[in-house]
Structure 1
Amino acid sequence: MTQKTIILSGINMKEGGIFTILDNCLQKISDYAEDKNLKVIALVPDASQFNYPNIEYIAFPESKKSWIKRLYYEYFYFNKLSKELQPDVWFSLHDVSPNVVAKKRFVYFHHPTIFYKSSFNDWKYNYKIGVFSILYQYLTKINLKKNHTVLVQQNWIKTEFEKLYRIKNIKVCNPEFVAFTNPKTIKLDASKMQLFYPLIARSFKNVEIIAEALQLLPDSIKNKIQISLTFAKGDSKYGDFIIRKYPLEQFNFIGKLTREEVFGYYKSMDCLIFPSKLETWGLPLSEAKAFKKPILAANLPYAKESLGDYEKVSFFDTENPKELAQLITDFVMKTTQFDGNSATFDKNDQLNDWNSIFDYLLKD
């Protein structure tokens, strides 16, 4: 059997949910390639972050430092690199369709800003969100139709993509949950209800609604709550705004965590709270579901599709702190009657795990 070469490009996937996608993909293809005549080359921001066998790593540490460098790699340098490496498959894992030469090209789109109407706070605390919400749809269009298939994470994105770009070669690929086998032990104050919100502090993450909901609660409820958030002073302008405006005792700003620590919090927490206004998936929802933990989530399409069939979830309006305050009260008082959630979409034509994706990319 002739050896095939696949290039997985994730040069900008350095932190948060996008790093999780890259890490999970590499972990899975490392196992997948074990008994196959397959050469795997991963283009990553930092090769020291990965030690999965059966993969050749090429690092691009400069990519994340500026968009000029990112675009140079995608649209100029990768053309030269692809001619040298002669891949059968080039799989761009992070939204952009580069100028490359390969037998088949694929792009995995999971950047939500093209479907997002930016707010004043988005422009104030991270202007890139506002800029990307306008310009990213044009960047996405470059070379898009040269791909064999565009992979997206949810059905609602597929529908929007079909309308926006008038293409039909789209496959829905749900992110596969890949658990850590050794989550770090996290000890939390057992006298309080422990809520957890893993996030990178950006304005669309909507931490304000949690703070506003807390301020509506009586002390008898507030004193029984601790909410751990994964950012700290100095991480971002938006994070500093939250810390400054809402110096609440209930907030525990714990800073960035390793994946082992995040899974330790899932294991130890009482409930996930997830008010984000913008996600293409919402990995913490899938991860908390895997731990069978209660969830309070934004009443938005991404959250419902991410959760699929799940009983222990209730939803709230992302602009209604009073509604969230009532859900928190019910949870503390142990009187919660969960909304529950059911999958309402056809899964027959989806790719629901990484091995299925690899089979699809590599089939003749």
Structure 2
Amino acid sequence: MKTILVNASAANTGGAETILRTFVSEIKKETQYKFVILSPHKFNLAEKHITFEYAKTSGFKTVWFTIKGIGKYVKKYSPNKIISFNNLNYIFKPGIGITYFHQPKALEKGYSDVKIKVYQFIISKFLKKNTFIVQSEYIRNKFLKMFNYEEDEVISCWPGFIIPKQDTSLNSKISSNFKHKGLLPIAYASPHKNVKSLEEIYGFLEENNIEITTLLNPANNYLSASKNINSIGAITRQQLFGLYKDIDFLIFTSKDETVGLPIFEFLQTGKPAFVYAADYAIEFNKQFGNPENLVLFKDAEEFKTLFLQKINCTSKPFDYSKGEWYKIIDLI
């Protein structure tokens, strides 16, 4: 039986945790392999071929642990393959590495961020024998251009997502006094998330009796105060899917993503998702045949116009949840 070591030490919250949970769900049926998962989370599974070892990292600790620190686990388990969800991988056995890459900033030149420069250096110099997994053809093309890898060394794999069996309503946290209720499903106000752009439409929200709920921590004051903005902080996936049912529209302001899974989770409701027209969003719009309820806007003024035109738009739901994880299993 082949042993697969899975490094997900940084998959603590957000999209990274979602991807890990989806992966674990997918490998439940792959009983011909033994999976050892290094993770901050230990799932209660009946499957005996999947085991967990606690490992939690962040920042530069993740870089060190990924490229060198997991050596003790490599020695302990003698894996046939090492799957890393940390953008990098173990540099001393690059030929057995499968690296899940989801850091779009590393695909751009000119970043002053030291961590991004470290990513770029390690990928260029030490991981040429890895197979890299990315989430879209758009990111694959950027990766190939940036790092000059061979075509078959970078594979596009749509991640899909797990829909909770039950959702939890958060109606008590949403005011019933507004005509339209929206959601900004962003919990961290990194610069590329572009959440400050919401302030450009405060007047429009007030004039049209619109409330936007965000997942930002209200104590951090990422946005200036407005009675039309309701920040509730981080929530569970069950609560998130409950919110999808309770709100009328989604707004997504990010300028750069590998996917932006909440967009596609919400599109399944058939209700409109207003998404900033960044390159990744434009490419996904093409990839999925220009969904009627995926509404791209270039700036605040275009958002206002399109909102009034599309807020009552409904589309036949399309299933975006099915992933292409078989592509990773085939590499094992």
1:21 to 19, 24, 45: 19
Q: Secondary structure at the match of 2:21?
A: helix
Tell me if the contact between 2:2 and 2:79 (Cα under 8 Å) persists in the aligned partners: yes
Number of aligned residue pairs? 316
TM-score when normalising by structure 2 = 0.86
Shift of 1:327: 2.5
Tell me if the contact between 2:218 and 2:232 (Cα under 8 Å) persists in the aligned partners: no
Between the aligned partners of 2:210 and 2:205, the Cα distance in structure 1 is 12
Between the aligned partners of 2:197 and 2:281, the Cα distance in structure 1 is 17
Between the aligned partners of 1:218 and 1:282, the Cα distance in structure 2 is 24
2:24 matches 1:45: no
2:196 matches 1:204: no
2:214 to 220, 229, 238: 229
Between the aligned partners of 2:297 and 2:32, the Cα distance in structure 1 is 49
Counterpart mapping for 1:1-364 below 5 A:
3-30=1-28, 32-33=29-30, 36-47=31-42, 50-54=43-47, 55-61=50-56, 63-64=57-58, 66-67=59-60, 69-101=61-93, 104-116=96-108, 130-147=113-130, 149-168=131-150, 169-187=153-171, 188-190=174-176, 191-199=178-186, 200-215=188-203, 217=204, 219-221=206-208, 224-235=209-220, 240-242=221-223, 246-307=224-285, 308-309=288-289, 310-317=291-298, 320-331=299-310, 334=312, 353-362=323-332
Q: Secondary structure at the match of 1:177?
A: coil
Which residue of the partner structure matches residue 318 of structure 2? none
Shift of 1:39: 0.9
Between the aligned partners of 1:292 and 1:299, the Cα distance in structure 2 is 19
Tell me if the contact between 2:67 and 2:88 (Cα under 8 Å) persists in the aligned partners: no
Which residue of the partner structure matches residue 319 of structure 2? none
Q: Secondary structure at the match of 2:250?
A: strand
Runs of 4+ residues over 6 Å off in structure 1: none
Between the aligned partners of 1:5 and 1:211, the Cα distance in structure 2 is 51
Between the aligned partners of 2:306 and 2:244, the Cα distance in structure 1 is 20
Between the aligned partners of 1:210 and 1:329, the Cα distance in structure 2 is 17
Shift of 1:337: 10
Tell me if the contact between 1:176 and 1:353 (Cα under 8 Å) persists in the aligned partners: yes
Taking a change above 3 Å as real, the CA distance of residues 173 and 254 of structure 1, as seen in their structure-2 partners, is same
Mark the runs of 5 or more structure 1 residues left unpaired by the alignment.
120-128, 339-351
Amino acid at match of 1:172: S
Shift of 1:154: 1.4
Give the alignment's Cα RMSD to 1 decimal: 2.6
Superimposed CA distance per residue, residues 108-128 of structure 1 (whole angstroms, 9 cap, x where no aligned partner): 111111235789xxxxxxxxx
Shift of 1:80: 3.1
Between the aligned partners of 2:76 and 2:292, the Cα distance in structure 1 is 51
Taking a change above 3 Å as real, the CA distance of residues 267 and 52 of structure 1, as seen in their structure-2 partners, is farther
Taking a change above 3 Å as real, the CA distance of residues 192 and 82 of structure 1, as seen in their structure-2 partners, is same
Taking a change above 3 Å as real, the CA distance of residues 160 and 40 of structure 1, as seen in their structure-2 partners, is same
Amino acid at match of 2:160: E
Between the aligned partners of 1:118 and 1:227, the Cα distance in structure 2 is 34
Between the aligned partners of 1:282 and 1:218, the Cα distance in structure 2 is 24
Tell me if the contact between 1:25 and 1:354 (Cα under 8 Å) persists in the aligned partners: no
Between the aligned partners of 2:97 and 2:249, the Cα distance in structure 1 is 41
% identical aligned pairs: 26
Shift of 1:6: 1.3
Taking a change above 3 Å as real, the CA distance of residues 263 and 330 of structure 1, as seen in their structure-2 partners, is same
TM-score when normalising by structure 1 = 0.79
Tell me if the contact between 1:89 and 1:102 (Cα under 8 Å) persists in the aligned partners: no
Between the aligned partners of 1:261 and 1:255, the Cα distance in structure 2 is 12
